[in-house]
Amino acid sequence: MPSFQSSLSTASPAYADNREDMLALIDTLNRARSRAEAVSEKRRPRFSERGQLTPRERLQRLLDPGMPFLDMYGLANFLVDTPDREASIPGASLLAGIGFVSGIRVMILVDDSGISAGAATPTTGEKIEACLDVALRHKLPFIHLVESAGADLFAYRVESWARAGGMFYRHALLSAAGIPTITVLHGPATAGGAYMPGMSDYVIAVKGRGRASLGGAALVRAATGEISDEEELAGTDMHATVSGLVEYTAEDDAESLFLARQLVERLDWNARCEQVTPVSFEEPCFAPEEIAGLVPVDYRKPYDVREIIARITDASNFEEFKSRYGASTVCAHAAIYGNACGIIANNGPIDPDGATKAAQFMQLCDQADMPVIFLSNTTGYMVGKKYEQAGMIKHGAKMIQAVSNIDVPRITLYIGASFGAGNYGMCGIGYDPDFLFTWPNATTGVMGGEQAALTMEQVARSGARRRGQDVDEDALQAQNQKLISYFDNQSDAFYTSGRMLDQGMIDPRDTRRVLGFALATCWESRHRTLRGNSYGIARM
Amino acid sequence: MLVDIIAEVTGTVWTVSAVVGQTLASDEEVLVIESMKMEIPICTGEIGTLQELLVVKGDVVQEGAVIARLEVGGA
């Protein structure tokens, strides 16, 4: 029996309205994802002509069938290419996520060479680096299926190129940490991209298609005048027999993925990880499906976040900690798929009592070696005389101290409002959570657009008063409108996710599954012993 | 008996949903206060008739201030 009694009525008009609004946002997300797939799919005839698999088929062949796959940074570059959300292509020309290969949990990156031949977008380098960081943090073997035209020279930016060096730096760190990196060369890897195989511990390459060179034939001719053939300059056979860059050769894409699966299996990776003791658990008593109708997409409308906790936790069974103290900050012990965890959630702004309660609860979770899940839905720390005098700053600071310094896994979900320092205290991106996903209705920013506009309006009015001038009301209204849309546009979850301020947008109804996968990943990484070295593997 | 309805937070009166003379159910919304970007409904604690409404839309109210009075218990 759950201790929590839900007061949600699925027959109420509010439920129907909320559900309609949330499903519309989920639809926008699904349309964006499908658009990337459709663009890539248009190139299918070219892939077939060359006897290749499409990038999505490659991913499918690599993964264990029927096992979960956690898509990561799926909205990267969304609204960066164009502000039109019905035209923008998400993904940064990469498919990425954590999945299983031969029973081993791995981090996978696939160049989506169906989109602009896999050429880098302004966000591609950042996404690759973020995925390498996830692999390092969670001790996940890293597999990259490479086929990329490289950077678009017409869109060259010195800062992107200079920072892109961080990709190979991270490869070196992985290798030295004792985490194997594998490249499957399905197509070209040119210039900087050639270090992708170069830096990998293992390279599998497809005959006739895989290519790696610091300069392609055109650049070589421009640089030295030498006329060369792509195969002798960069081909799989040359690298397998002459340069020694390639360890394994495959006749085609399918064989290369078979070889990758076999290689992962032979590494016997799980021999150095404790085995999970299977535990029994019950599904929530309240259906996760109901989350869509429970949450108003407008964060201004309050609801009880415990209704969400009841729909993501085992048997809907959770115990609130200090429920009557700082009550708008909810702390609770629960379990998700048998993983005991602490949950911190908000029912609005955080007051001094809520901040100290959350700080204490985090320390207790740390003491118990228990992951903390943050369901971030706060319009910030309370402002005003009463709260400043009560020490809002010092109490909020305690919460930020705790969130920064606890040593247990921290998993954050932006589920509604995430404003001001409330975003920091609730383990926003700046606090480097182990995992961070967003719902499509989330709103993130220093403050709301209306509050920003009103603040600047008051500044303008008092300035005019000081100078003895009249206020130009029309200009002020225009300024307000401009500021509101400037702020609100940037706080939208599709905008923030496109700029990689989270690791991806999820359907709120999938929350329990995503959290379960993230918790299992954290558990594994903390129970795995690595055999690191100080040098990384050198290819001889 | 007259019962005070209190503002739970400092904020601005966002909407007023009830009118003087109206019979309200227990836990029925009287008005909404906008504070910290949230629309916080202020509701009755019991059944009664709205006797006085002391604020109008746009008023700034302090936490703990009386914003309305409800006649309860069939006085």
Separation of alpha carbons A443 and A488, rounded Å: 8
**A251 C-beta neighbours (distance < 10 Å), count:** 11
* Total domains present in chain A: 2
Q: For residue A470, is it within any domain?
A: no
Can you give the CATH number for the domain in which A136 is found?
A: 3.90.226.10
- Largest Cα–Cα distance in chain B? 39
Q: For residue A495, is it within any domain?
A: no
Q: Mark which of A272, A299, A323 sits at the end of a domain.
A: A272
Which sequence spans correspond to the domains of chain B? 2-71
ipTM value, please give it.
0.81
A301–B63 CB contact, under 8 Å: no
Q: Is residue A305 domain-shared with residue A215, that is, in the same domain?
A: no
Number of CB pairs, chain A paired with chain B, less than 8 A apart: 31
Q: For residue A166, is it within any domain?
A: yes
The two tokens of residue A85 are 């959300």
Among A7, A297, A301, A329, the strongest candidate for a mutation testing the B interface, having the largest count of B CBs within 10 A, is A301
**Residue A99 φ/ψ, nearest 5 degrees:** -150, -170
Task: Find out whether A150 and A187 touch, Cβ atoms under 8 Å.
Answer: no
In this complex, which of A379, A383, A450 lies closest to B38 when CB atoms are compared?
A379
Query: Which distant-in-sequence residues (6+ apart) come within 8 Å of B32 by Cβ?
Result: B13, B14, B15, B17, B39, B40, B41, B42
Q: Is residue A390 domain-shared with residue A364, that is, in the same domain?
A: yes
The two tokens of residue A136 are 């390092």
Predicted pLDDT at B75: 46
Predicted pLDDT at A49: 96
Q: Is residue A325 domain-shared with residue A187, that is, in the same domain?
A: no
Q: Which residue from A399, A373, A493 is spatially nearest to A444, judged by alpha carbons?
A: A493
Predicted pLDDT at A233: 93
Predicted pLDDT at A525: 96
Q: For residue A537, is it within any domain?
A: no
Q: Is residue A210 domain-shared with residue A72, that is, in the same domain?
A: yes
Q: For residue A481, is it within any domain?
A: no
Q: For residue A460, is it within any domain?
A: no
Q: Is residue A197 domain-shared with residue A324, that is, in the same domain?
A: no
Q: For residue A461, is it within any domain?
A: no
Among A305, A386, A455, the strongest candidate for a mutation testing the B interface, having the largest count of B CBs within 10 A, is A386
A348–B63 CB contact, under 8 Å: no
**A475 C-beta neighbours (distance < 10 Å), count:** 10
Separation of alpha carbons A354 and A358, rounded Å: 6
Q: Is residue A260 domain-shared with residue A308, that is, in the same domain?
A: no
Q: Mark which of A226, A243, A272 sits at the end of a domain.
A: A272
Q: For residue A159, is it within any domain?
A: yes
Residue A139 falls in which region: left (phi positive, over 0), alpha (psi -120 to 50) or beta: left
Helix, strand, or coil (residue B4): strand
In this complex, which of A384, A386, A417 lies closest to B37 when CB atoms are compared?
A417
Would you list which residues of chain B are within 8 Å, Cβ to Cβ, of chain A? 10, 34, 36-41, 63
Task: Find out whether A128 and A196 touch, Cβ atoms under 8 Å.
Answer: no
Q: Fill in the amino acid letter for A186.
A: H
Q: pLDDT by residue (tens digit) across A105-117? A: 999 999 999 998 8
Q: Which chain B residues have a beta carbon less than 8 Å from that of A417? A: 37
Contacts 24+ apart (CB under 8 A), A7-10: A7/A304, A7/A307, A8/A286, A8/A290, A8/A293, A8/A294, A8/A307, A10/A290, A10/A293
B37–A302 CB contact, under 8 Å: no
Q: pLDDT by residue (tens digit) across A64-81? A: 999 999 999 999 999 999
Q: Fill in the amino acid letter for A512.
A: R
Q: Is residue A93 domain-shared with residue A212, that is, in the same domain?
A: yes
C-alpha A84, offset from chain centre: 22
Q: Is residue A49 domain-shared with residue A173, that is, in the same domain?
A: yes
Among B34, B36, B39, B63, the strongest candidate for a mutation testing the A interface, having the largest count of A CBs within 10 A, is B36
Domain residues for the domain of A102 are 23-272
User: Is A382 in CB contact (< 8 Å) with chain B?
Assistant: yes
Q: Mark which of A272, A298, A323 sits at the end of a domain.
A: A272
Predicted pLDDT at A448: 85
Task: Find out whether A284 and A329 touch, Cβ atoms under 8 Å.
Answer: no
In this complex, which of A302, A386, A450 lies closest to B38 when CB atoms are compared?
A302
Q: Which residue from A413, A441, A435, A508 is spatially nearest to A72, judged by alpha carbons?
A: A435
Q: Is residue A355 domain-shared with residue A386, that is, in the same domain?
A: yes
**Chunked in runs of 10, what are the mean pLDDT values of chain B (75 residues)?**
92 94 94 92 93 95 94 75
Window 416-435 of A: residues touching B by CB (8 A cutoff) are: 417, 419
In this complex, which of A302, A380, A417 lies closest to B40 when CB atoms are compared?
A302
Q: Scanning every residue of chain A, which has its alpha carbon at the shortest distance from the alpha carbon of B11?
A: A384
Q: Which chain A residues have a beta carbon less than 8 Å from that of B38? A: 299-300, 302, 348-349, 379
Low-confidence ranges of chain A (pLDDT < 50): none
Q: Which chain A residues have a beta carbon less than 8 Å from that of B37? A: 299-300, 379-380, 417, 419, 448, 450-451
Q: Which chain B residues have a beta carbon less than 8 Å from that of A300? A: 34, 37-39
B37–A299 CB contact, under 8 Å: yes
Task: Find out whether A374 and A413 touch, Cβ atoms under 8 Å.
Answer: yes
User: Is A380 in CB contact (< 8 Å) with chain B?
Assistant: yes
Helix, strand, or coil (residue B70): strand
Q: Fill in the amino acid letter for A323.
A: S
Q: Is residue A257 domain-shared with residue A328, that is, in the same domain?
A: no
User: Is A503 in CB contact (< 8 Å) with chain B?
Assistant: no
Q: Which chain A residues have a beta carbon less than 8 Å from that of B64? A: none
Q: Is residue A322 domain-shared with residue A268, that is, in the same domain?
A: no
The two tokens of residue B14 are 């966002």
The two tokens of residue A166 are 């961080």
Q: Is residue A178 domain-shared with residue A236, that is, in the same domain?
A: yes
How many Cα atoms occupy the beta-carbon half-sphere of A89 within 13 Å?
19
| Fold type of domain B2-71 | OB fold (Dihydrolipoamide Acetyltransferase, E2P) (2.40.50)
